[in-house]
Structure 1
Amino acid sequence: MKTLTTALALIAPVHAGLRFPCSTLTTQRLDPVVEPGKIPSAHVHHIVGGNAFSATMEGDVGARATCTTCQMAEDFSNYWTAQLYFKHPTNGSYHKVPVIPVQPLLGGSDGAKSGLTVYYTQYDLTRDNLNQQKITAFKPGFRMTVGSPTEEGKPQVGLRYQCLQGQNRGPELDSFPTGPCSGGIFTTHHFPACWDGQNLDSPDHQSHMYNTIQYDGFLDAPACPSSHPVRMPQVTYETVWDTTQFNSLWQSGAPNPFVWSFEGSAAGTHADYMFGWKGDALQRAMDKSECFYDGCGSITKQAMSVANQCTIKTTVNEPVEGWLDKLPGR
């Protein structure tokens, strides 16, 4: 399987894209895509991005937000995943797993507080797609999900786990690592990139998009089908869950003790995306073709010390930290 590091070695200078850190905005039970208006939602999410985030979000999110926890100052989108918890093997209690910034590959994440790293790439980090069609940025009101908390079968394409040993990410896995990881657990959520050209959402929040990748999200992306003819940016989240403080509690030979906040199988990992870039900022970056990761100066960056000041009020007042007898909402 091609890892991200291997894929980076294949990048040609004509490819462009974005890679940037976003600090944590909030961790609570809200989900304006799958459960709009429901307070609280079914399970806890780890959320980054713009401060327009709430239980109900319609229309142009970027026009309403006034700050963002992301490095790209014109990006008021919201990005979220289920929260990871450690389940104590003896007494069955739960503890929220902290998040730490992804270590930089090209360009830093210095100053990020927890959070995750976001990619918007044109050609899945490969050099073999120079004849691909133009990349069209998302529209105001666009949203989508990848994965499902009810998934019990084979893990979906592009949803991967890696066991960090120091700075070594190790091989990509379909499920949780089977032993303690000295550097934490690294997760990747890679969204589809072919749009039907009409719907900003769909009943299952996925059918308006189509994934041409057959296995790994960072491999070549075939052309979009006629049913979903519009090529959009490849959106990917990377998160490092700091599981190290729980390694001493993981008894040798015992099953994996980590669970998502919905307490389903590892196959149920999932993520949500809600577009919120200002104006044509994202399209400007996707139109560039001379450099990678920074939009070739087309987008204003902010210091992470500024991004970290962006906050929202807690809507769902319930404990999500410390040792819990049960998962919130379960």
Structure 2
Amino acid sequence: MVPIVLVLLYALAHLRLVIAQATSNYVIFGGTQAVVRTRLDPIVNPGTYGTHVHDVFGGSGFSDNYDYNQLIQSTCTTMEITEDFSNYWVPSMFYVDPNNGSYTLMESTMNIYYLIRPGPNNDKIQPFPQGLKMLAGDNTRGTYNASSEEDQAISYMCLDYSNNHANDPDWAQRPNFFDHQCPDGLRAQAFFPSCWDGQNLDSEDHKSHMSYPIGAYNDGYCPDTHPVHLISLFYELFAPVGDFPYNGPGTWSFSNGDTNGYRFHGDFQMGWKDMSLLQQFIDACPAAQGNVADCPALAAVMDTTAASACQFGGQIVNEDIGDVSPIAALPGCNLPWDGNGTMPTCSGDDNPGFVDAIMPLPSGWIDMGCIAEGTSGRALTNVTFTGNNMTKAVCSAMCANEALPYAGVEDGNQCFCGETLMNGAVSSTVPQEQCYSRCSGNVFETCGGQQKLELLHNPNPTPVTLPLTAPTTIPSTNGSSSSTPSSPSPSPSPGSSGSTGSIQWVNSSCNKDGSSRALTGYTFASDQMSPSLCQAACAAKGFIIAGLEYGAECYCGNSFANNLGSTLSASSCSMPCTGDASTKCGGSWALSVFKSANTTSAHARKRAQRRAH
């Protein structure tokens, strides 16, 4: 347990942050998904392997070595602002099995804050200069120095939405890991230095060109040596530690072997393509209190659906990082260290090589894009496969081995093969972001969407062998090796309830939302939004509450958070859905809420299964 005196000192050091947040404008790019997870660090280890695995967010142009001009050529970004190709990265979080010492990667998400913090002297705030690189935190630190701004800038919150832990020091924000379970996740936080020397975009130690403000690391004034006060950058990494049992100290580890949390750190490579957007955020968004929609310039280029569909097409280190099954050791030779004594080291060869993050399609196959399913049945009706290793390459190979020229992936783990398009389906594409489902065999690749196929074609398919286990064939009704799927289930009609697969949804009520969000599990937006689309997405992510807002937005969760969710009058949820004008999809800060009649979510079932082991 952290000493009570240290907790109180830490709370006082962070009091100014709370006050400043209430008075300065800021935006939160919330629930950001990683674009890739790999052992690369182009700032600290350019051109070679990094020392540990990172969760990387933002532009798809991330690589072992690049500059600003290369980064802004990214084809997409997991940031909801389409002009932000910056990369934001942190060490990956792992669960450590107490029985065999193996490591399982946690799929964390991140909130990224941009804050206007002029300090007591009301400094003029400037946007990040093109190509700026900077770090927060220290990868080698094993202790906490309460007088160090750099140490103060790293902190943690233990999340429990079901209980009130106010005034309990054992649940207060602190500088290291908690000594108990965090049912709804652990939030690792990093506040970056905001004072720049005005000349250097980087420095030898990647820190000297930046400085924390004087007086308060999060809202002070800039020293004469670093006179340019930039936008303040703040990370909140959400690690789903509650999905795993808590077994005492050493249960959680960052990819660098850190088992107490002091070595958490963040990296930032500036990649905003339209620099004027940051200036407009500074000058023209005084009402922004977290919600991007309150900053018109940013809202105009916000696309959460495109962010969800972003795929990383570069290369990664060719090694197992524990994302599919547990691994015996952390990649890069990182031994566990709790900060006591000397940090352990190890030696050995480290030359795993690089490999494409997305397996290329077999020879002769082309990706024709995202298409809608058939209007009266499946578009591809000859053979169907499902599997937990599904990718576009795997599906193409399976269809090629059936001598069928068309292949289509859907809903992340389904593969359909056919001789031609059937049941009213056509090859005309819909917006690519509608194929947003992550492939079950590669989370950084998308495999169709809800009633949307990523269509693949080879006019002359020949047998293909891939170095992967083949998906499971869905048995047909006559026991043969192929199957003719039934027509897609119809979308639920407007009204009080509907079904998504085997999940029944009940229209609950109209509920209050706010800038901190009532439903925080997953979100996306679509110009084809409907209750069935939102319900399907929430069900696929393992959540039991689906909320629709402002006609085009979908929010998922298992309970209401942030003191939001109170019942509103039905008239507050009167905005037509963008994909079905006959149905209502919430309103302004108002959620049309549906609850699953299957009260145990897939997320909760998976958590229970892991706890049982």
Q: Are the aligned partners of 1:61 and 1:140 in contact in 2 as well (CA < 8 Å)?
A: no
- Spell out, residue by residue over 1:114-158, the C-alpha distance to the aligned partner (whole angstroms, 9 max, x if none): x3111110128xxxx475121111111110011121112316122
The verdict on how the C-alpha distance between 1:326 and 1:62 changes in structure 2, with shifts beyond 3 A counting, is closer
Determine whether 1:269 maps to 2:270.
Answer: no
- Spell out, residue by residue over 1:226-257, the C-alpha distance to the aligned partner (whole angstroms, 9 max, x if none): 0000000110011110011212xx33xx3241
The verdict on how the C-alpha distance between 1:163 and 1:69 changes in structure 2, with shifts beyond 3 A counting, is same
Equivalent in the alignment of 2:43: 33
Equivalent in the alignment of 1:66: 75
What TM-score results when the alignment is normalised by the length of structure 1?
A: 0.84
Moved more, 208-217 or 138-147: 208-217
Equivalent in the alignment of 1:202: 203
AA of the residue aligned to 1:326: A
- Spell out, residue by residue over 1:236-295, the C-alpha distance to the aligned partner (whole angstroms, 9 max, x if none): 011110011212xx33xx324111101034211111000011232212211225211336
Q: Are the aligned partners of 2:214 and 2:223 in contact in 1 as well (CA < 8 Å)?
A: no
CA RMSD of aligned residues (A): 2.4
* Superposed displacement of residue 17, structure 1: 2.5
The verdict on how the C-alpha distance between 1:9 and 1:29 changes in structure 2, with shifts beyond 3 A counting, is closer
Equivalent in the alignment of 1:118: 112
The verdict on how the C-alpha distance between 1:144 and 1:61 changes in structure 2, with shifts beyond 3 A counting, is farther
The verdict on how the C-alpha distance between 1:28 and 1:71 changes in structure 2, with shifts beyond 3 A counting, is same
Equivalent in the alignment of 1:7: 18
Structure 2 counterparts to residues 17-32 of structure 1, below 5 A: 17-21=26-30, 22-32=32-42
Equivalent in the alignment of 1:82: 91
Determine whether 1:241 maps to 2:269.
Answer: no
Paired residue total: 301
Determine whether 1:148 maps to 2:138.
Answer: yes
Quote the sequence identity (%): 31
Task: State how far apart, in whole Å, the 1-side matches of 2:301 and 2:179 are.
Answer: 39
User: Which blocks of at least 5 consecutive residues in structure 1 are unaligned?
Assistant: 100-114
Equivalent in the alignment of 2:332: 329
Q: Are the aligned partners of 2:214 and 2:221 in contact in 1 as well (CA < 8 Å)?
A: no
Determine whether 1:287 maps to 2:288.
Answer: no
* Superposed displacement of residue 71, structure 1: 0.9
SS of 2:72's equivalent in the other structure is: helix
- Spell out, residue by residue over 1:39-60, the C-alpha distance to the aligned partner (whole angstroms, 9 max, x if none): x311100001011111101133
Moved more, 53-62 or 22-31: 53-62
State which of 159, 175, 188 in structure 1 corresponds to 2:154: 159
User: Which blocks of at least 5 consecutive residues in structure 2 are unaligned?
Assistant: 1-10, 146-150, 166-170, 334-613
Equivalent in the alignment of 2:369: none
- Return the index of the structure with the highest Cα Rg: 2
AA of the residue aligned to 2:47: G
Q: Are the aligned partners of 2:29 and 2:79 in contact in 1 as well (CA < 8 Å)?
A: yes
The verdict on how the C-alpha distance between 1:10 and 1:305 changes in structure 2, with shifts beyond 3 A counting, is closer
Equivalent in the alignment of 1:103: none
Q: Are the aligned partners of 1:61 and 1:275 in contact in 2 as well (CA < 8 Å)?
A: no
The verdict on how the C-alpha distance between 1:279 and 1:304 changes in structure 2, with shifts beyond 3 A counting, is closer
Task: State how far apart, in whole Å, the 2-side matches of 1:277 and 1:303 are.
Answer: 15
What TM-score results when the alignment is normalised by the length of structure 2?
A: 0.46
AA of the residue aligned to 2:265: H
Q: Are the aligned partners of 1:194 and 1:224 in contact in 2 as well (CA < 8 Å)?
A: yes
SS of 2:306's equivalent in the other structure is: helix
* Superposed displacement of residue 74, structure 1: 1.5
* Superposed displacement of residue 88, structure 1: 1.4
SS of 1:305's equivalent in the other structure is: helix
Task: State how far apart, in whole Å, the 1-side matches of 2:113 and 2:311 are.
Answer: 22
* Superposed displacement of residue 296, structure 1: 2.1
The verdict on how the C-alpha distance between 1:272 and 1:179 changes in structure 2, with shifts beyond 3 A counting, is same
Equivalent in the alignment of 1:184: 185
Ranked by relative contact order (alpha carbons within 8 Å, sequence separation 6 or more), the top structure is: 1
